[in-house]
Structure 1
Amino acid sequence: MSQTLTLDATTLYWLFRLQGPSLGLWRAAEIAVLRQCEFPRPTLDLGCGDGLVSSMVLNHVDAGIDPDPKALTQASRVGLYLKLENALVERSTLPENCFGTIISNSVLEHIPDLHPVLAKAGRLLRSGGRLVFTVPTERFSECLALPFPRYSRWRNQQLRHLNLWPESRWREALEKAGFEIVTIRPYLRNGLIFSWDLLELMQQARVARRRLFGLAWRRLPHSFINYLARRASQLDLSSPAPGGGRLIVARKPSL
């Protein structure tokens, strides 16, 4: 039986306010599972984006790296990062054998050639350092709102999913890059993936080029979103394996 996984109502409120109900739900599970990890410094946020998720997990991040300059501009306003680098991680100029932790949230599933990225992560970590990351799983495509292969292909293409791998393939890739597996934990059971996708479809529906669900959501009173957040804080975001998402903690062996 999987250990219960929940998130506090305050964090959920801000996720719902800032990202809407569907992305807010998915991010809630990621934040909840990441908060249960340890992050020895110095820390590097690989694919940091706008920094929102990491700001809800960590108080300080020593460095963030992302190829999107607009996302880094947003990340610089969060007040979380000591240093930001605009680059692909495999081309990073950050010091090697330095970091105690590399955190990466929902990034590695989008990268076409993962081996150079994992190899570079290993070089950036000091001896005994950890790579902590979340990714959607091979089960994701089977639990969407519409049970058709064409729909799941469309959804994964829309989300730019390239690496929805089973646990065995992640083990193989990480071991090839010189890592040891420390922890693997699934999250988001089938019903929550279905709910996420249904909410996402509702948010994307347009009438006269306008997303009516999004317009209505933004007009909801704060008290109602707070009510939804309190209810959502009672949700168990855990899952038996494989789950819709997977936390993996891998370690660079000590010398």
Structure 2
Amino acid sequence: MDTPSASSQPSGRDFLWLHLRELPYFRALLRAVEARFYQGLHLPRPVLDIGCGDGHFASVTFDEPLDVGLDPDPRVLPLARGYGGYRWVLRGYGDALPFGRATFASAVSNSVLEHIPDVDNVLCEVARVLRPGAPFIFCVPNHRFAPSLSVARFLKRLGWCGLAGAYQRFFNRISRHYHCDDVPRWQERLERAGFALENYWHYFSPGALACLEWGHYFGLPSLVARKLTGKWILAPYPWNLALTRRVVQPYFDQPAECENGVYTFYIARRS
């Protein structure tokens, strides 16, 4: 008998639109690119999502709800329940997962681990709650992220390397990045925690990063709307988002794998 699975089949869903109508365009672009990577991946049940956030990503990425979504922020848990991307939504911390040993058959963590200072303890906890042979799939910004920022590159061309470094630190701080590391560093962490790295690829070109970078500044009206109404996008209709889509579509259409990509997608397996 086949193992029950939460894998997504190759889909004709418009991931870019499904994210643009709910999120600021720079977040929508990145999440839409990442959603494509999960299509066809086998995720044996039960599945744990570490850092589920508001649950929107899971609700549009997977054909069926994942088993458990976990997040430490109590403010997002009602939203995650509302989107219906999980069978259960719980509050919890990655370094103290409220589950017994070998509870889950697979786990995912989408653009979360870079935000956790004590990521080594989190990886050990994930290994503890996963069954032997279980896949663990995650993605994070890599070592090229900060040096590829458009403002930093411009300042370096002017010879202002000190200012470029300060800008890189500033942007990582506002992005809450603690870990933007290369593959060998992540492989070392994974192996120490009890995982074997099976596959990885880089994605999101420096051009796409510039789109994301400037979105942090041009997206301030969306932040105001979120504070006032609880919604990022006040008019989630094609007529309102047509120009936005025209700007981000070329970056979404880029090849999935990018040799100089500033993010990396990892597939590891519990040893």
Fold shared, TM-score > 0.5 on shorter chain: yes
Q: Is the 8 A contact 1:9 1:229 kept in 2?
A: no
Matches within 5 A, 1:124-135: 124-135=129-140
From 107, 113, 116, the counterpart of 1:111: 116
| Correspondence 1:11 to 2:15 | yes
Which structure 2 residue ranges, 5 or more long, are not aligned? 1-10, 153-163, 226-232
TM (norm. structure 1) is 0.85
Superposition CA RMSD, Å: 2.7
Which shows bigger deviation, 172-181 or 88-97?
Answer: 88-97
Structure 2 SS opposite 1:90? coil
TM (norm. structure 2) is 0.80
Tell me the distance in 1 between the aligned counterparts of 2:92 and 2:168.
31
Matches within 5 A, 1:58-207: 58=62, 59-147=64-152, 148-204=164-220
**Identity across the alignment (%):** 29
Tell me the distance in 2 between the aligned counterparts of 1:226 and 1:237.
22
Question: For each residue in 1:24-68, what CA deviation from the matched residue of structure 2 results, as whole angstroms up to 9, or x when unmatched?
Answer: 111112112233522111100001111111122221211111111
The residue identity in structure 1 corresponding to 2:216 is E
Tell me the distance in 1 between the aligned counterparts of 2:24 and 2:256.
21
Deviating beyond 6 angstroms after TM superposition, the runs of 4 or more aligned structure 1 residues are: none
Match of 1:232 in 2: 249
Question: For each residue in 1:159-207, what CA deviation from the matched residue of structure 2 results, as whole angstroms up to 9, or x when unmatched?
Answer: 110000111100000000111011111110111111221232222389x
Q: Return the offset for 1:235.
A: 1.3
Cα pair distance change 1:49/1:205, threshold 3 Å: closer
Number of aligned residues: 242
Tell me the distance in 2 between the aligned counterparts of 1:137 and 1:18.
26
Match of 1:3 in 2: none
Tell me the distance in 1 between the aligned counterparts of 2:13 and 2:108.
24
| Correspondence 1:43 to 2:61 | no
Tell me the distance in 2 between the aligned counterparts of 1:44 and 1:220.
30
Structure 1 SS opposite 2:95? helix
Structure 1 SS opposite 2:21? helix
Tell me the distance in 1 between the aligned counterparts of 2:41 and 2:137.
8
Q: Is the 8 A contact 1:9 1:232 kept in 2?
A: no
Match of 1:247 in 2: 265
Higher relative contact order (CA 8 A, sep 6+): 1
Tell me the distance in 2 between the aligned counterparts of 1:249 and 1:22.
25
Q: Is the 8 A contact 2:21 2:237 kept in 1?
A: no
Which shows bigger deviation, 226-235 or 39-48?
Answer: 226-235
